[in-house]
Chain A
Amino acid sequence: MTAEFRLRQAWTIARLQLRRVFFSKRSSWVYLLALFPSVPFFGHAIEVKLSQSRYASRVTAAAILESIREGDTDEEVLKTAGEPVHERKFRRGPRGEASVEYRNLIYFDGERRWFLHFEAGILQNKRSRPLIDFEDDRKVFAGVFQYFYLRLAVFFGCLGIFMNLFRGEILDKTLHFWFLAPARREVLLAGKYLAGLIAATLIFATGAALSFGLMLWPQDAVELSAFWRAQGPEHLFWYATAAAAGCVGYGSLFLAAGLLVRNPVVPAIVILFWEGINGILPAALQKFSVLYYVQSLAPIPPPMDANAPALIQLLMSPADPPSTVAAVCGLLAVTALVLWIASRSVQRIEINYGTD
């Protein structure tokens, strides 16, 4: 038996398994997890596009809006700035007492929205926000990618895909068919891992790329073309690579867990907890997690959650991120170690369909 023959066997197993991973009904929620972040980005893009077309006919000069001061009356503001793009009036007050009239006006200066808040006809608060802010959107995408995509979507997606490769067969009482095939068990493991990896990488890398594309869609054409010429393709590549690297790391962990543990909830909780507290662990311990290597591949570091409790913010001490080469090598080393443990386990496995 040559290595080439075993590779061909592994590829045959992977091909058979791929169909089941991609098209089974059980995989539908994995697609949902991967594609969900695209939905809010799509909604944001539509909102920006609609607002741009709706406000275009009622632009007020920025100088006029800047000249408005707190303490001005609503009538004065309407006289100087003209008709707002949006207006809302309401009355509110403590029960049994006279209610106060509130008025909110929104103006648009071509780039920014100005929010004016009046109480009893007097301007109490004036603030402005750009209709769309590319820098801010990129930071939001970085946060979404690091906190939702890597920590939750890829994590639970890989849990579903890779646990299913062996544990699913045991639950379906079909694992013995694979074991009866004239292939070594390590080859079976390699074939199944390859299938899971191809499926997870394609699904999550595509999901990340789609969300990135939808984040870019409503941006200003000039800013966008400058970004696309400078860092755009590089950012897209690294986001997709980080998603794929997450699949490599978590995939091996959950494949091994599916062989070693009967109940996936236990390793899921343990790994989720370990990855969750990763940021507050000492630097040496942070290196024993998938997240440490994967998040260093992302082009923008995760923004700190301003709403996090003070104690957590105090304890947060991210270890120095590894270089790209070190991150890839570290991740591959961890994956190889876990797969070796899994291959030892699959050699000893005895089928007991039991009462799962």
Chain B
Amino acid sequence: MAVYKRGYTRYQGALTGHWARFFVLPRFAWRRLLEQRLVVILLVAATFWPLLCAGFIYVSNHADLLLGFDQKMSAFLRIDSRFFVIFMNAQSVFAILLSAFAGPSLIAPDLANGALSLYFSRPISRVEYVLARLLVLLGMLSLVTWVPGVLLFFMQSAMAGWSWFASNWQLGVGVFFGFLLWILLVSLVAMASSAYVRWRIVAGALVLGVFFVLAGAAELTNAVLRVEWASAFNPGRAMNQIWCAMLGADPIPGPNATFCFIVVSIMAALLLFVLNRKLRPVEVVS
């Protein structure tokens, strides 16, 4: 006869839904991120430019204020695709900075502390883990990118009237999808860096390094080889060309939007490859 006996029965209670389980990781991560002072400071700092742009829209829509201005000034105050491209370029820098602070803490600690096996022993797959982490950054970066962008678009639509909205609706769509593409790229860089170096603080520096050094390397290649195609490897410049095409603005001289999109897609595929290689629940230590 056993001196100790314990039986088990399967849990028979109600199960949480698949999506509820999926949102567990982002929920906790968002709470933890918002406890970081630097993240909050950056979120606040990122609102200054949209507020300035809102002021600009207000001024440009008050014809009575513009009566004394000449044509050049009126053209400068026009809200068009160029205005939104400039806005997007400025906010994209905040997205990089925010991802450098927020991104590395998502995966690196799990890898460094061997926590992946704990995640994957629960009903969550590798893809769902990556998507959940991606969602954390998507939510965080949305606050400084497409949310203020779309708000500005609606503000302009409300002030300029239905006719402006009807003839410029593609600007709002372009801002939304353009920023979504940028968020995806920035998030993938942050997550891949985090998974690659495993050190949270080093990953942050790596995120910055990737964007700044790639930009420098692309311009260097252009200058030495007397070409323009290398600009497509500068993520900021490539995205600017894509945004110009989406919003119908005049692109800056350089590779066209299609080529830039192909290069950005290749970059994203490489980053996904790194994530796939690094995110394994078990590893053999040699």
- For the complex, give the distance between the alpha carbons of A152 and B234 in Å: 14
- For the complex, give the distance between the alpha carbons of A33 and B210 in Å: 11
The B interface is mostly helix, strand or loop, or mixed, namely helix
Contact of A171 with B by CB under 8 A: yes
- For the complex, give the distance between the alpha carbons of A156 and B213 in Å: 8
Q: Which of A8-16, A39-47, A99-107, A310-318 contacts B (4 or more CB under 8 A)?
A: A39-47
- For the complex, give the distance between the alpha carbons of A262 and B204 in Å: 12
**Which of A40, A140, A148, A167 meets B201, CB within 8 Å?**
A167
Contact of A151 with B by CB under 8 A: yes
**A interface residues, tally (CB under 8 Å):** 32
In the complex, chain B residues 184-234 whose Cβ is within 8 Å of any chain A Cβ: 199-202, 204-205, 207-209, 212-213, 216-217, 219-221, 223-225
- For the complex, give the distance between the alpha carbons of A167 and B225 in Å: 39
- For the complex, give the distance between the alpha carbons of A187 and B208 in Å: 32
| Chain B: interface size category | 20 to 34
B residues in contact with A40, CB < 8 Å: 220-221, 224-225
Contact of B38 with A by CB under 8 A: yes
Structural contact, A262 and B225, CB atoms closer than 8 A: no
- For the complex, give the distance between the alpha carbons of A5 and B225 in Å: 53
Contact of B109 with A by CB under 8 A: yes
**Which of B201, B207, B219 meets A262, CB within 8 Å?**
B201
B residues in contact with A156, CB < 8 Å: 205, 209, 212-213
Structural contact, A140 and B224, CB atoms closer than 8 A: yes
Structural contact, A263 and B204, CB atoms closer than 8 A: yes
Contact with B along A141-175 (1 / 0, CB 8 A): 00110011001110010011001000100010000
Minimal beta-carbon separation of A81 from chain B (angstroms): 24
* With A40-B225, A41-B224, A160-B205 as contacts: A356 and B216 at CB distance below 8 Å: no
Structural contact, B225 and A37, CB atoms closer than 8 A: no
Minimal beta-carbon separation of A225 from chain B (angstroms): 23
- For the complex, give the distance between the alpha carbons of A355 and B110 in Å: 12
Minimal beta-carbon separation of A210 from chain B (angstroms): 14
**Which of B100, B220, B223 meets A265, CB within 8 Å?**
B100
Structural contact, B208 and A268, CB atoms closer than 8 A: yes
A residues in contact with B212, CB < 8 Å: 152, 156, 272
**Which of A148, A152, A171 meets B199, CB within 8 Å?**
A171
Structural contact, B97 and A356, CB atoms closer than 8 A: no
In the complex, chain A residues 314-356 whose Cβ is within 8 Å of any chain B Cβ: 355-356
Contact of A226 with B by CB under 8 A: no
Contact of A183 with B by CB under 8 A: no
Structural contact, A264 and B201, CB atoms closer than 8 A: yes
Contact of A269 with B by CB under 8 A: yes
Residue of B nearest to A211 (CB): B224
**Which of A43, A151, A265, A355 meets B205, CB within 8 Å?**
A265
* With A152-B216, A265-B100 as contacts: A163 and B223 at CB distance below 8 Å: no
Minimal beta-carbon separation of B197 from chain A (angstroms): 8
Minimal beta-carbon separation of A131 from chain B (angstroms): 11
In the complex, chain A residues 93-152 whose Cβ is within 8 Å of any chain B Cβ: 140, 143-144, 147-148, 151-152
Minimal beta-carbon separation of B141 from chain A (angstroms): 16
Residue of B nearest to A215 (CB): B224
Contact with A along B19-37 (1 / 0, CB 8 A): 0000000000000000000
Structural contact, A356 and B200, CB atoms closer than 8 A: yes
Minimal beta-carbon separation of B282 from chain A (angstroms): 21
Structural contact, A140 and B223, CB atoms closer than 8 A: yes
Structural contact, A144 and B208, CB atoms closer than 8 A: no
Contact of B146 with A by CB under 8 A: no
Residue of A nearest to B101 (CB): A265
Structural contact, B201 and A143, CB atoms closer than 8 A: no
Residue of A nearest to B212 (CB): A152
**Which of B101, B109, B204, B213 meets A33, CB within 8 Å?**
B213
Structural contact, B204 and A265, CB atoms closer than 8 A: yes
* With A264-B204, A355-B109 as contacts: A44 and B216 at CB distance below 8 Å: no
Interchain residue pairs with CB less than 8 A apart (19): A40-B221, A44-B225, A140-B223, A144-B223, A148-B216, A148-B219, A152-B212, A152-B213, A153-B213, A156-B209, A156-B213, A159-B205, A171-B201, A264-B202, A265-B100, A265-B101, A268-B208, A269-B208, A356-B199
Contacts A148-B216, A265-B201, A355-B109 aside, 11 further interface pairs with beta carbons under 8 A come to: A40-B224, A43-B225, A44-B225, A156-B205, A156-B212, A163-B205, A167-B201, A263-B38, A265-B208, A272-B208, A356-B200
